[in-house]
Amino acid sequence: MVLTINLIDWDGKALLRTLQVEPADTVQELKETIEKELGIPKWSQILYVINEDSMIEISSVGLCGVLGDEGYPIEVTVQRRDEATALVLQEMWETCKIDSAVPRWYREQEEATRGEAAIAMEVLLRAGECLKDMSEELKDNDTVVLQAVQKDGMALEFASSNMKKVRQVVMTAVCQKGMALQFADDRWKDSPSIVKAAMTNDRRAKEFAKVDPKHKDAAEPVPNQEPDQVFQVMGLMGYHCTLSAELKTPLGELKEMIEKETSIPKWEQKLLFLGREVRTADEFKNVDKNFPIILMLVNRNEDVAEKLKELEACPGGSSVVNWLGKQSEDYQSNYDVVMEAVARTGEALKHAAKELKRNKDVVMVALKTYGSALAFASLDLQKDKEVVLAAVMHTGGALEYASADLKQDKQVVLAAIRQDTAAIQFAPMAVQQDPDIQRAVGGQDQGCVRACGCVIS
Protein backbone atom coordinates (compact mmCIF):
# COMPACT_ATOMS: atom_id res chain seq x y z
CA MET A 1 0.00 0.00 0.00
CA VAL A 2 1.65 3.21 -1.19
CA LEU A 3 0.75 6.81 -1.92
CA THR A 4 1.74 8.45 -5.19
CA ILE A 5 3.00 12.03 -4.83
CA ASN A 6 3.53 14.25 -7.86
CA LEU A 7 5.97 17.06 -7.10
CA ILE A 8 4.88 20.15 -9.04
CA ASP A 9 6.97 23.29 -9.56
CA TRP A 10 6.00 26.44 -7.66
CA ASP A 11 4.23 27.88 -10.73
CA GLY A 12 2.05 24.78 -10.81
CA LYS A 13 2.85 23.99 -14.43
CA ALA A 14 5.55 21.32 -14.58
CA LEU A 15 5.81 17.85 -13.03
CA LEU A 16 9.22 17.62 -11.38
CA ARG A 17 9.16 14.11 -9.90
CA THR A 18 6.78 11.31 -9.00
CA LEU A 19 7.45 9.73 -5.59
CA GLN A 20 6.09 6.62 -3.91
CA VAL A 21 5.74 6.86 -0.11
CA GLU A 22 4.17 4.74 2.61
CA PRO A 23 1.24 6.24 4.56
CA ALA A 24 3.23 5.60 7.75
CA ASP A 25 6.24 7.62 6.50
CA THR A 26 6.65 10.90 8.37
CA VAL A 27 6.54 14.30 6.69
CA GLN A 28 10.17 14.69 7.74
CA GLU A 29 11.05 11.53 5.79
CA LEU A 30 9.20 12.96 2.79
CA LYS A 31 11.31 16.12 3.07
CA GLU A 32 14.48 14.02 3.13
CA THR A 33 13.34 12.24 -0.04
CA ILE A 34 12.63 15.59 -1.73
CA GLU A 35 16.09 16.79 -0.70
CA LYS A 36 17.64 13.78 -2.46
CA GLU A 37 15.51 14.25 -5.57
CA LEU A 38 15.54 18.05 -5.96
CA GLY A 39 18.54 19.15 -3.91
CA ILE A 40 16.48 21.47 -1.68
CA PRO A 41 17.66 21.01 1.93
CA LYS A 42 14.88 19.80 4.22
CA TRP A 43 15.30 22.79 6.52
CA SER A 44 14.56 25.11 3.58
CA GLN A 45 11.35 23.36 2.51
CA ILE A 46 7.78 24.46 3.10
CA LEU A 47 5.43 21.91 1.56
CA TYR A 48 1.95 22.55 0.23
CA VAL A 49 -0.75 20.23 -1.05
CA ILE A 50 -2.39 21.53 -4.22
CA ASN A 51 -6.11 21.15 -3.53
CA GLU A 52 -8.24 22.17 -6.52
CA ASP A 53 -7.64 25.93 -6.83
CA SER A 54 -5.88 26.42 -3.49
CA MET A 55 -2.72 25.38 -1.70
CA ILE A 56 -2.67 24.16 1.89
CA GLU A 57 0.54 24.17 3.90
CA ILE A 58 1.54 20.76 5.24
CA SER A 59 2.48 20.65 8.89
CA SER A 60 5.94 19.28 9.62
CA VAL A 61 4.27 17.04 12.18
CA GLY A 62 2.59 13.77 11.35
CA LEU A 63 2.49 11.10 8.70
CA CYS A 64 2.19 11.17 4.92
CA GLY A 65 -1.17 9.40 5.26
CA VAL A 66 -2.72 12.81 6.01
CA LEU A 67 -1.95 14.00 2.48
CA GLY A 68 -4.60 11.80 0.87
CA ASP A 69 -5.30 8.18 0.06
CA GLU A 70 -4.14 5.74 -2.56
CA GLY A 71 -7.15 6.39 -4.78
CA TYR A 72 -5.55 9.31 -6.62
CA PRO A 73 -2.09 10.88 -7.05
CA ILE A 74 -1.41 13.73 -4.59
CA GLU A 75 0.01 16.97 -5.95
CA VAL A 76 2.60 18.65 -3.71
CA THR A 77 4.68 21.75 -4.31
CA VAL A 78 7.73 23.11 -2.45
CA GLN A 79 8.48 26.67 -1.41
CA ARG A 80 11.84 27.75 0.00
CA ARG A 81 11.88 29.32 3.47
CA ASP A 82 13.26 32.79 4.00
CA GLU A 83 17.03 32.66 4.20
CA ALA A 84 17.39 33.75 7.85
CA THR A 85 15.04 31.03 9.15
CA ALA A 86 16.60 28.41 6.89
CA LEU A 87 20.10 29.24 8.20
CA VAL A 88 19.00 28.79 11.83
CA LEU A 89 17.37 25.44 11.06
CA GLN A 90 20.39 24.36 9.04
CA GLU A 91 22.60 25.10 12.05
CA MET A 92 20.31 23.01 14.27
CA TRP A 93 20.40 19.99 11.99
CA GLU A 94 24.14 20.18 11.37
CA THR A 95 25.10 20.93 14.97
CA CYS A 96 22.68 18.56 16.72
CA LYS A 97 23.24 15.10 15.30
CA ILE A 98 21.06 13.57 18.01
CA ASP A 99 17.79 14.94 19.41
CA SER A 100 19.10 15.10 22.97
CA ALA A 101 21.55 17.82 21.88
CA VAL A 102 18.78 20.15 20.69
CA PRO A 103 17.71 21.64 24.09
CA ARG A 104 21.20 22.92 24.90
CA TRP A 105 21.62 24.33 21.38
CA TYR A 106 18.26 26.10 21.56
CA ARG A 107 18.96 27.50 25.02
CA GLU A 108 22.04 29.24 23.62
CA GLN A 109 20.17 31.00 20.81
CA GLU A 110 19.36 34.70 20.92
CA GLU A 111 16.10 35.74 22.53
CA ALA A 112 14.67 36.89 19.19
CA THR A 113 15.34 33.47 17.69
CA ARG A 114 13.61 31.77 20.62
CA GLY A 115 10.56 33.91 19.97
CA GLU A 116 10.13 32.80 16.35
CA ALA A 117 7.15 30.46 15.95
CA ALA A 118 8.40 28.92 12.69
CA ILE A 119 11.71 27.95 14.31
CA ALA A 120 9.98 26.80 17.49
CA MET A 121 7.72 24.38 15.60
CA GLU A 122 10.70 22.73 13.89
CA VAL A 123 12.71 22.56 17.13
CA LEU A 124 9.82 20.93 18.99
CA LEU A 125 9.73 18.16 16.41
CA ARG A 126 13.00 16.99 17.91
CA ALA A 127 12.67 17.95 21.57
CA GLY A 128 9.43 18.89 23.34
CA GLU A 129 11.30 20.06 26.43
CA CYS A 130 12.58 23.08 24.46
CA LEU A 131 9.25 24.70 25.35
CA LYS A 132 10.97 25.57 28.64
CA ASP A 133 13.22 28.12 26.91
CA MET A 134 10.67 29.67 24.60
CA SER A 135 9.09 33.09 24.99
CA GLU A 136 6.06 33.53 27.24
CA GLU A 137 4.01 34.28 24.14
CA LEU A 138 4.89 30.91 22.61
CA LYS A 139 4.20 29.09 25.87
CA ASP A 140 0.66 30.49 25.62
CA ASN A 141 0.25 29.50 21.96
CA ASP A 142 -1.97 26.43 21.62
CA THR A 143 -0.37 25.26 18.35
CA VAL A 144 3.13 25.48 19.79
CA VAL A 145 2.20 23.85 23.10
CA LEU A 146 0.34 21.02 21.37
CA GLN A 147 3.42 20.39 19.24
CA ALA A 148 5.53 20.21 22.38
CA VAL A 149 3.31 17.81 24.32
CA GLN A 150 2.83 15.55 21.30
CA LYS A 151 6.60 15.07 21.28
CA ASP A 152 7.01 14.96 25.08
CA GLY A 153 3.98 15.00 27.35
CA MET A 154 6.10 16.20 30.27
CA ALA A 155 6.60 19.51 28.43
CA LEU A 156 3.19 20.43 29.88
CA GLU A 157 5.17 21.61 32.90
CA PHE A 158 6.46 24.58 30.88
CA ALA A 159 3.16 25.61 29.29
CA SER A 160 1.33 28.70 30.48
CA SER A 161 -1.34 28.34 33.17
CA ASN A 162 -3.93 29.05 30.48
CA MET A 163 -2.72 26.14 28.35
CA LYS A 164 -2.82 23.79 31.34
CA LYS A 165 -6.56 24.49 31.51
CA VAL A 166 -7.16 23.47 27.88
CA ARG A 167 -8.60 19.97 27.74
CA GLN A 168 -7.08 19.04 24.38
CA VAL A 169 -3.61 20.10 25.54
CA VAL A 170 -3.89 18.05 28.72
CA MET A 171 -5.41 15.02 26.99
CA THR A 172 -2.61 15.03 24.40
CA ALA A 173 0.04 15.36 27.10
CA VAL A 174 -1.22 12.50 29.29
CA CYS A 175 -1.68 10.24 26.28
CA GLN A 176 1.99 10.76 25.49
CA LYS A 177 3.23 10.59 29.11
CA GLY A 178 0.76 9.61 31.79
CA MET A 179 2.80 11.29 34.53
CA ALA A 180 2.16 14.66 32.86
CA LEU A 181 -1.09 14.64 34.83
CA GLN A 182 0.82 16.21 37.72
CA PHE A 183 1.21 19.45 35.69
CA ALA A 184 -2.42 19.71 34.58
CA ASP A 185 -4.86 22.21 36.05
CA ASP A 186 -6.65 20.70 39.04
CA ARG A 187 -9.97 20.52 37.18
CA TRP A 188 -8.52 17.80 34.92
CA LYS A 189 -7.15 15.77 37.81
CA ASP A 190 -10.80 15.31 38.74
CA SER A 191 -11.83 14.23 35.22
CA PRO A 192 -12.42 10.46 34.79
CA SER A 193 -11.62 10.53 31.06
CA ILE A 194 -8.35 12.45 31.52
CA VAL A 195 -7.31 10.33 34.51
CA LYS A 196 -8.16 7.12 32.68
CA ALA A 197 -6.08 8.18 29.66
CA ALA A 198 -3.16 9.03 31.95
CA MET A 199 -3.38 5.75 33.89
CA THR A 200 -3.64 3.75 30.67
CA ASN A 201 -0.28 5.21 29.70
CA ASP A 202 1.31 4.96 33.16
CA ARG A 203 -0.37 3.43 36.23
CA ARG A 204 1.74 5.68 38.47
CA ALA A 205 -0.34 8.67 37.32
CA LYS A 206 -2.95 7.56 39.88
CA GLU A 207 -0.80 9.35 42.47
CA PHE A 208 -1.86 12.72 41.01
CA ALA A 209 -5.51 11.89 40.33
CA LYS A 210 -8.30 13.28 42.47
CA VAL A 211 -10.85 10.77 41.23
CA ASP A 212 -11.11 7.07 40.53
CA PRO A 213 -12.38 6.95 36.92
CA LYS A 214 -14.38 3.79 37.73
CA HIS A 215 -15.98 5.10 40.91
CA LYS A 216 -19.74 5.71 40.81
CA ASP A 217 -19.33 9.12 42.48
CA ALA A 218 -16.78 10.43 39.93
CA ALA A 219 -17.14 14.15 39.14
CA GLU A 220 -18.06 13.37 35.51
CA PRO A 221 -20.77 10.80 34.76
CA VAL A 222 -19.15 7.53 33.73
CA PRO A 223 -21.14 5.40 31.25
CA ASN A 224 -21.58 1.67 31.74
CA GLN A 225 -19.05 1.08 29.01
CA GLU A 226 -16.08 3.22 30.02
CA PRO A 227 -14.25 4.87 27.09
CA ASP A 228 -11.19 2.76 26.44
CA GLN A 229 -9.39 4.17 23.41
CA VAL A 230 -7.71 7.46 22.64
CA PHE A 231 -7.94 8.88 19.11
CA GLN A 232 -5.65 11.67 17.92
CA VAL A 233 -6.89 13.48 14.83
CA MET A 234 -4.35 15.18 12.57
CA GLY A 235 -4.83 17.32 9.46
CA LEU A 236 -2.75 18.99 6.78
CA MET A 237 -2.14 21.95 9.06
CA GLY A 238 -1.21 19.73 12.00
CA TYR A 239 -3.06 18.66 15.12
CA HIS A 240 -6.88 18.84 15.27
CA CYS A 241 -8.02 17.17 18.49
CA THR A 242 -7.77 14.21 20.86
CA LEU A 243 -10.84 12.09 21.67
CA SER A 244 -11.55 9.32 24.14
CA ALA A 245 -14.17 6.82 22.97
CA GLU A 246 -15.00 3.14 22.92
CA LEU A 247 -13.42 1.16 20.11
CA LYS A 248 -16.85 0.02 18.96
CA THR A 249 -18.19 3.57 18.69
CA PRO A 250 -19.97 3.81 15.30
CA LEU A 251 -18.01 5.82 12.77
CA GLY A 252 -20.84 8.33 12.40
CA GLU A 253 -20.77 9.08 16.13
CA LEU A 254 -16.98 9.42 16.06
CA LYS A 255 -17.29 11.96 13.26
CA GLU A 256 -19.90 13.86 15.25
CA MET A 257 -17.47 14.03 18.18
CA ILE A 258 -14.80 15.37 15.83
CA GLU A 259 -17.27 17.92 14.47
CA LYS A 260 -17.92 19.22 18.00
CA GLU A 261 -14.19 19.65 18.62
CA THR A 262 -13.17 21.05 15.23
CA SER A 263 -16.36 22.51 13.66
CA ILE A 264 -15.66 20.45 10.52
CA PRO A 265 -19.02 18.99 9.38
CA LYS A 266 -19.00 15.21 9.51
CA TRP A 267 -19.95 15.03 5.82
CA GLU A 268 -16.72 16.81 4.93
CA GLN A 269 -14.57 14.48 7.02
CA LYS A 270 -12.56 11.77 5.30
CA LEU A 271 -10.75 9.83 8.02
CA LEU A 272 -7.67 7.82 7.09
CA PHE A 273 -6.03 5.15 9.23
CA LEU A 274 -2.67 3.85 7.98
CA GLY A 275 -3.36 5.41 4.60
CA ARG A 276 -6.79 3.86 4.01
CA GLU A 277 -10.15 5.46 4.53
CA VAL A 278 -11.96 4.23 7.64
CA ARG A 279 -15.40 2.87 6.79
CA THR A 280 -16.38 1.01 9.97
CA ALA A 281 -15.16 0.80 13.55
CA ASP A 282 -14.16 -2.83 12.84
CA GLU A 283 -10.95 -1.50 11.29
CA PHE A 284 -9.71 -0.64 14.79
CA LYS A 285 -10.42 -4.00 16.44
CA ASN A 286 -6.84 -5.29 16.32
CA VAL A 287 -5.07 -2.14 17.51
CA ASP A 288 -3.00 -1.96 20.69
CA LYS A 289 -5.21 -0.16 23.21
CA ASN A 290 -2.14 1.15 25.05
CA PHE A 291 -1.38 3.58 22.23
CA PRO A 292 -3.51 6.32 20.64
CA ILE A 293 -5.02 5.67 17.22
CA ILE A 294 -3.73 8.33 14.85
CA LEU A 295 -6.42 9.40 12.38
CA MET A 296 -5.68 11.65 9.43
CA LEU A 297 -8.53 14.01 8.53
CA VAL A 298 -8.80 15.08 4.90
CA ASN A 299 -11.47 17.64 4.05
CA ARG A 300 -13.78 16.70 1.21
CA ASN A 301 -15.08 19.46 -1.03
CA GLU A 302 -18.54 20.81 -0.19
CA ASP A 303 -20.27 19.38 -3.28
CA VAL A 304 -19.12 15.84 -2.54
CA ALA A 305 -20.00 16.30 1.14
CA GLU A 306 -23.53 17.32 0.15
CA LYS A 307 -23.88 14.19 -2.00
CA LEU A 308 -22.72 11.98 0.87
CA LYS A 309 -25.32 13.63 3.08
CA GLU A 310 -27.98 12.70 0.49
CA LEU A 311 -26.63 9.16 0.31
CA GLU A 312 -26.84 8.60 4.04
CA ALA A 313 -30.53 9.55 3.90
CA CYS A 314 -31.21 6.56 1.61
CA PRO A 315 -32.95 3.99 3.87
CA GLY A 316 -31.89 0.70 2.27
CA GLY A 317 -29.82 -1.15 -0.30
CA SER A 318 -32.16 -0.77 -3.30
CA SER A 319 -32.62 2.94 -2.64
CA VAL A 320 -28.82 3.38 -2.65
CA VAL A 321 -28.59 1.60 -6.02
CA ASN A 322 -31.36 3.79 -7.45
CA TRP A 323 -29.78 6.94 -6.00
CA LEU A 324 -26.39 6.30 -7.61
CA GLY A 325 -28.11 5.41 -10.89
CA LYS A 326 -29.70 8.88 -11.00
CA GLN A 327 -26.46 10.78 -10.37
CA SER A 328 -24.49 12.58 -13.07
CA GLU A 329 -21.41 11.01 -14.64
CA ASP A 330 -19.26 13.31 -12.49
CA TYR A 331 -20.52 11.66 -9.31
CA GLN A 332 -20.67 8.15 -10.75
CA SER A 333 -16.97 8.56 -11.44
CA ASN A 334 -16.20 10.19 -8.07
CA TYR A 335 -14.13 7.81 -5.96
CA ASP A 336 -15.50 8.98 -2.59
CA VAL A 337 -19.17 8.92 -3.64
CA VAL A 338 -18.96 5.49 -5.26
CA MET A 339 -16.95 4.05 -2.38
CA GLU A 340 -19.60 5.15 0.10
CA ALA A 341 -22.37 3.74 -2.09
CA VAL A 342 -20.80 0.31 -2.62
CA ALA A 343 -19.95 0.11 1.08
CA ARG A 344 -23.70 0.37 1.73
CA THR A 345 -24.54 -2.19 -0.95
CA GLY A 346 -22.21 -3.75 -3.47
CA GLU A 347 -24.98 -3.86 -6.08
CA ALA A 348 -24.45 -0.12 -6.56
CA LEU A 349 -21.28 -1.01 -8.47
CA LYS A 350 -23.51 -1.49 -11.55
CA HIS A 351 -23.86 2.32 -11.80
CA ALA A 352 -20.18 3.17 -11.20
CA ALA A 353 -18.08 4.58 -14.01
CA LYS A 354 -15.94 2.14 -15.99
CA GLU A 355 -12.69 3.33 -14.42
CA LEU A 356 -14.05 2.56 -10.94
CA LYS A 357 -15.24 -0.87 -12.03
CA ARG A 358 -11.57 -1.44 -12.83
CA ASN A 359 -10.48 -0.18 -9.40
CA LYS A 360 -9.68 -3.19 -7.23
CA ASP A 361 -10.26 -1.36 -3.94
CA VAL A 362 -13.75 -0.25 -5.01
CA VAL A 363 -14.67 -3.73 -6.23
CA MET A 364 -13.36 -5.46 -3.10
CA VAL A 365 -15.48 -3.17 -0.91
CA ALA A 366 -18.53 -3.94 -3.05
CA LEU A 367 -17.94 -7.69 -2.70
CA LYS A 368 -18.07 -7.49 1.09
CA THR A 369 -21.82 -6.90 0.94
CA TYR A 370 -22.76 -8.34 -2.46
CA GLY A 371 -20.67 -11.15 -3.94
CA SER A 372 -22.56 -11.04 -7.23
CA ALA A 373 -21.18 -7.52 -7.79
CA LEU A 374 -18.43 -9.46 -9.55
CA ALA A 375 -20.78 -9.34 -12.56
CA PHE A 376 -20.20 -5.57 -12.81
CA ALA A 377 -16.41 -5.66 -12.33
CA SER A 378 -14.06 -5.24 -15.27
CA LEU A 379 -12.91 -8.33 -17.20
CA ASP A 380 -9.43 -7.90 -15.74
CA LEU A 381 -10.77 -8.15 -12.20
CA GLN A 382 -12.92 -11.14 -13.11
CA LYS A 383 -9.57 -12.79 -13.93
CA ASP A 384 -8.05 -11.74 -10.57
CA LYS A 385 -8.01 -14.72 -8.22
CA GLU A 386 -8.06 -12.63 -5.03
CA VAL A 387 -11.11 -10.73 -6.26
CA VAL A 388 -12.96 -13.86 -7.39
CA LEU A 389 -12.23 -15.67 -4.13
CA ALA A 390 -13.66 -12.72 -2.18
CA ALA A 391 -16.79 -12.87 -4.34
CA VAL A 392 -17.45 -16.63 -4.12
CA MET A 393 -16.71 -16.76 -0.39
CA HIS A 394 -19.57 -14.29 0.07
CA THR A 395 -21.86 -15.64 -2.65
CA GLY A 396 -21.01 -19.01 -4.12
CA GLY A 397 -23.07 -18.34 -7.25
CA ALA A 398 -20.74 -15.47 -8.15
CA LEU A 399 -18.61 -18.19 -9.74
CA GLU A 400 -20.82 -17.62 -12.79
CA TYR A 401 -19.04 -14.30 -13.42
CA ALA A 402 -15.46 -15.53 -12.96
CA SER A 403 -13.16 -15.87 -15.95
CA ALA A 404 -13.02 -19.21 -17.75
CA ASP A 405 -9.57 -19.94 -16.30
CA LEU A 406 -10.71 -19.35 -12.71
CA LYS A 407 -13.78 -21.53 -13.18
CA GLN A 408 -11.25 -24.34 -13.66
CA ASP A 409 -9.28 -23.41 -10.54
CA LYS A 410 -10.00 -26.04 -7.89
CA GLN A 411 -9.38 -23.64 -4.97
CA VAL A 412 -11.90 -21.15 -6.38
CA VAL A 413 -14.52 -23.80 -7.11
CA LEU A 414 -14.14 -25.38 -3.67
CA ALA A 415 -14.57 -21.96 -2.02
CA ALA A 416 -17.72 -21.40 -4.07
CA ILE A 417 -19.39 -24.73 -3.32
CA ARG A 418 -18.55 -24.50 0.37
CA GLN A 419 -20.63 -21.33 0.39
CA ASP A 420 -23.32 -22.70 -1.93
CA THR A 421 -23.21 -26.24 -3.35
CA ALA A 422 -25.39 -25.19 -6.28
CA ALA A 423 -22.48 -23.06 -7.52
CA ILE A 424 -20.96 -26.24 -9.00
CA GLN A 425 -23.20 -25.79 -12.04
CA PHE A 426 -20.93 -22.92 -13.14
CA ALA A 427 -17.79 -25.08 -13.14
CA PRO A 428 -16.68 -26.97 -16.29
CA MET A 429 -17.59 -30.67 -16.47
CA ALA A 430 -14.01 -31.78 -15.91
CA VAL A 431 -13.86 -29.84 -12.67
CA GLN A 432 -17.23 -31.18 -11.53
CA GLN A 433 -15.86 -34.71 -11.91
CA ASP A 434 -12.76 -34.03 -9.79
CA PRO A 435 -12.84 -36.40 -6.75
CA ASP A 436 -12.16 -33.57 -4.28
CA ILE A 437 -15.01 -31.52 -5.72
CA GLN A 438 -17.36 -34.52 -5.60
CA ARG A 439 -16.48 -35.19 -1.97
CA ALA A 440 -17.01 -31.55 -1.06
CA VAL A 441 -20.43 -31.45 -2.65
CA GLY A 442 -21.46 -34.89 -1.48
CA GLY A 443 -20.52 -34.03 2.07
CA GLN A 444 -22.71 -30.95 2.10
CA ASP A 445 -25.76 -31.53 -0.06
CA GLN A 446 -26.82 -34.90 -1.43
CA GLY A 447 -29.67 -33.14 -3.19
CA CYS A 448 -27.31 -31.22 -5.45
CA VAL A 449 -27.82 -33.66 -8.35
CA ARG A 450 -31.49 -32.82 -8.49
CA ALA A 451 -30.92 -29.12 -7.92
CA CYS A 452 -28.48 -28.39 -10.70
CA GLY A 453 -28.09 -31.51 -12.83
CA CYS A 454 -24.29 -31.73 -12.46
CA VAL A 455 -22.37 -35.01 -12.69
CA ILE A 456 -21.98 -36.01 -9.05
CA SER A 457 -21.82 -39.79 -8.60
Last residue of a domain, one of 157, 175, 208: 208
Asked if residue 420 belongs to a domain, the reply is: no
DSSP per residue over 28-61, as a string? HHHHHHHHHHH---GGGEEEEEEETTEEEEPPSS
Last residue of a domain, one of 175, 208, 241: 208
pLDDT of residue 229: 78
Same domain, yes or no: 320 and 272: no
Asked if residue 283 belongs to a domain, the reply is: yes
Q: Please name which of 232, 214, 211, 230 lies closest in space to residue 222, comparing C-alpha atoms.
A: 214
Q: In the predicted model, what is the mean pLDDT of the chain?
A: 86
Asked if residue 376 belongs to a domain, the reply is: yes
The arithmetic mean of pLDDT across residues 342-364, rounded, is 94
pTM over 0.85: no
| pLDDT 10s digits, 273-318 | 877 788 888 888 788 766 778 888 888 878 888 999 999 899 878 9
pLDDT at 235 over 70: yes
| pLDDT 10s digits, 57-92 | 887 767 787 777 666 688 899 999 999 999 999 999
Same domain, yes or no: 106 and 199: yes
Q: Please name which of 1, 69, 18, 79 lies closest in space to residue 44, comparing C-alpha atoms.
A: 79
Domain count, the chain: 4
- Angle at 197 (CA atoms; ends 191, 198), nearest 5 degrees: 90
Same domain, yes or no: 122 and 186: yes
| pLDDT 10s digits, 162-181 | 999 998 899 889 988 999 99
What is the spatial distance between Cα 445 and Cα 439, in angstroms, rounded to a whole number?
A: 10
Q: From the CB of residue 186, how many other CB atoms can be counted at a distance below 10 Å? A: 10
pLDDT of residue 232: 81
Same domain, yes or no: 258 and 285: yes
Q: Please name which of 162, 137, 138, 158 lies closest in space to residue 149, comparing C-alpha atoms.
A: 158
pLDDT at 215 over 60: no
Same domain, yes or no: 312 and 343: yes
Asked if residue 183 belongs to a domain, the reply is: yes
* CATH number of domain containing 246: 3.10.20.90
Last residue of a domain, one of 146, 179, 208: 208
Asked if residue 429 belongs to a domain, the reply is: no
First-last CA distance in the chain: 46
Q: Characterise 12 by phi-psi region: left (phi > 0), alpha (psi -120 to 50), beta (else).
A: left
Same domain, yes or no: 362 and 289: no
The three-class DSSP label of residue 243 is strand
Structural domain including 264 reads 229-299
Same domain, yes or no: 181 and 200: yes
What is the spatial distance between Cα 252 and Cα 123, in angstroms, rounded to a whole number?
A: 37
pLDDT at 23 over 70: yes
| pLDDT 10s digits, 323-344 | 999 999 999 999 889 999 999 9
Asked if residue 264 belongs to a domain, the reply is: yes
Asked if residue 428 belongs to a domain, the reply is: no
Query: Which strands sit side by side in the sheet containing 74-80, from one edge to the other?
Result: 15-21, 3-8, 74-80, 45-51, 54-57
pLDDT of residue 25: 84
Same domain, yes or no: 374 and 336: yes
Same domain, yes or no: 259 and 161: no
For the chain, the maximum distance between any two Cα atoms, rounded to a whole number of angstroms, is 90
Contact 200, 290 (CB under 8 A): yes
More confident of the two residues 55 and 455: 55
Same domain, yes or no: 333 and 279: no
pLDDT of residue 141: 94
Same domain, yes or no: 187 and 276: no
Q: How confident is the model at residue 455 (pLDDT cuts 50, 70, 90)?
A: low
pLDDT of residue 225: 40
What is the spatial distance between Cα 158 and Cα 145, in angstroms, rounded to a whole number?
A: 9
Same domain, yes or no: 30 and 104: no
What is the spatial distance between Cα 270 and Cα 293, in angstroms, rounded to a whole number?
A: 15
Asked if residue 414 belongs to a domain, the reply is: no
